[in-house]
Amino acid sequence: MVIERCFRSLKRTQIKMVPMYHWASRRIVSHVKICVLALLIERIAEMTCGMSWHHIQRNLETLQITEFFDLKYRVLMRNEVTTEARNILKSLKIKVPKQLIHAEKTA
């Protein structure tokens, strides 16, 4: 149940995943491996940060990217990082994303 919960949590991220239907044994094996990997990532984060996955997830969900655009430009920017999210990222040795994610001039 924990592995399935982790997999559902992983699917709610920005990673594009589609439902998996298991008619082939290789698909079942792949699904189990992804679920175990999700659980492993969750446990490593919990042990490294010293807090529950729910707390980590709730704080990291505050990180958001907003798209700004007009007829000439399209810009993706990150919001301000909360102190809690910054501390979690630092504990996990993950760099805080840049403020300006992407900028392009549209045609």
Per-residue pLDDT of 17-66, as tens digits, reads 566 566 778 877 888 888 888 889 989 999 999 999 999 999 999 999 99
- The answer to whether 76 and 101 are in contact (CB under 8 A) is yes
Q: How far apart are CA 39 and CA 34, in angstroms?
A: 9
Extents of the domains making up the chain: 1-50, 62-107
Threshold 0.75, pTM exceeds: no
For residue 47, the surrounding DSSP H or E stretch is: helix 25-49
Residue whose C-alpha is closest to residue 101's, from 86, 71, 79, 85:
79
